[in-house]
Chain A
Amino acid sequence: DAGVTQSPTHLIKTRGQHVTLRCSPISGHKSVSWYQQVLGQGPQFIFQYYEKEERGRGNFPDRFSARQFPNYSSELNVNALLLGDSALYLCASSKGLAGGDEQYFGPGTRLTVT
């Protein structure tokens, strides 16, 4: 079975630009979460989506937005990119909203903002 997939693998953008990152969860998983991981640190929670609705939001500015599609795939959008947005963006999926469900991560998208 395929795990969580993310695209693209790497991305280079310029300050002020917009970026869209994509994630496909494990088959049968309905919840998708997004995390930002800056080099040398642990992942920081950005969003959680379940059944196409936002169910959780971390401490990130409104430049960050996301959505989930009927097939449970998800997109993370970041507007007006800053140098500090350079990071590994991770997507994680789980079966349900909570209930102790194991959460599995994808390989991430490495975003570099110049």
Chain B
Amino acid sequence: GESVGLHLPTLSVQEGDNSIINCAYSNSASDYFIWYKQESGKGPQFIIDIRSNMDKRQGQRVTVLLNKTVKHLSLQIAATQPGDSAVYFCAERGYNFNKFYFGSGTKLNVKP
């Protein structure tokens, strides 16, 4: 089955710096990816998505990059703020379009 993993379980950054969270996926047929933010005690919050026919997509302070050659996804957060502290998950839509597969998450700690 699909496998979505993250390179770093915990990332600490200084407030105001840029953050980069990485994600690897194993299924080259996956065609759609979502980044979620999950704060303690809450459900995952949609941040940004990207389809496999794109290699970059920008939102407000966030950018997602997709490298299909090496099956790698990254989330860049500009000017990281204390409110960005959370666990971030990448989710990969499975080949049958009906399932999303999640990695184990990266915890982002923003130091004031």
Q: Which bucket holds chain B's interface residue count? A: 20 to 34
The answer to whether B42 has its CB under 8 Å from any CB of chain A is yes
User: Are A43 and B102 closer than 8 Å at their CB atoms?
Assistant: yes
A 87-114 binary contact with B (CB < 8 Å = 1; else 0): 0001000000110101111111000000
Beta-carbon nearest neighbor of B102 in chain A: A42
A105 to B99, CA, bound (A): 14
- Report whether over half of chain A's contact residues are helix, strand or loop; otherwise say mixed: loop
User: Are B32 and A56 closer than 8 Å at their CB atoms?
Assistant: no
The answer to whether B82 has its CB under 8 Å from any CB of chain A is no
Q: Which bucket holds chain A's interface residue count? A: 20 to 34
> Which of A40, A41, A43, A55 is B98 in contact with, Cβ under 8 Å?
A55
User: Are A45 and B100 closer than 8 Å at their CB atoms?
Assistant: yes
User: Are A42 and B34 closer than 8 Å at their CB atoms?
Assistant: no
Do A103 and B34 form a contact, CB below 8 Å, given A42-B89, A90-B44, A97-B98?
yes
Min distance, Cβ B102 to any Cβ of chain A, angstroms: 3
Residues on A facing B (Cβ under 8 Å): 4, 33, 35, 40-45, 48, 55-56, 58-59, 90, 97-98, 100, 102-108
Starting from the known contacts A98-B97, A102-B34, A105-B46, 5 additional A-B residue pairs (CB-CB under 8 Å) come to: A41-B105, A42-B102, A56-B98, A97-B98, A105-B44
